[in-house]
Amino acid sequence: METQNDSPIISDLELLELLQAAKHKEPLAMLKLIEIYNEDIVRISQYIKMPKEDAISAIIVEFLDLLQATEVPAGLCDQEDSL
């Protein structure tokens, strides 16, 4: 039996749409992405030699900076699932 809640599962298309929205600095998209990756962020923060809250904040800031710097290929968010 599982003791932890699983991360929310979203489709590839929804993830691309969130990435595109976050690239355009939409706050709700950024919050949703942080929520999706929260468990990973908390787990990784344990390996950083600083207070946990500071490590989590640093990871989130770097994550948001990476989202702004990374291009989402044009047209991918406009495609429908072909299956």
pLDDT tens, per residue, the chain with 83 residues? 445 556 668 899 999 999 999 999 999 999 999 999 999 999 999 999 999 999 999 999 999 999 888 776 665 555 544 44
Give the pLDDT confidence score for residue 29 in this predicted structure.
95
- The C-alpha atoms of residue 66 and residue 46 are separated, in whole angstroms, by 21
Amino acid in position 2: E
- For the full predicted model, state whether its pTM sits above 0.85: no
Sign of CA dihedral 67, 36, 38, 44: negative
Alpha carbons 33 and 27: distance in angstroms, whole number? 10
Distances (CA, A) of 29 to 26, 68, 74: 6, 12, 18
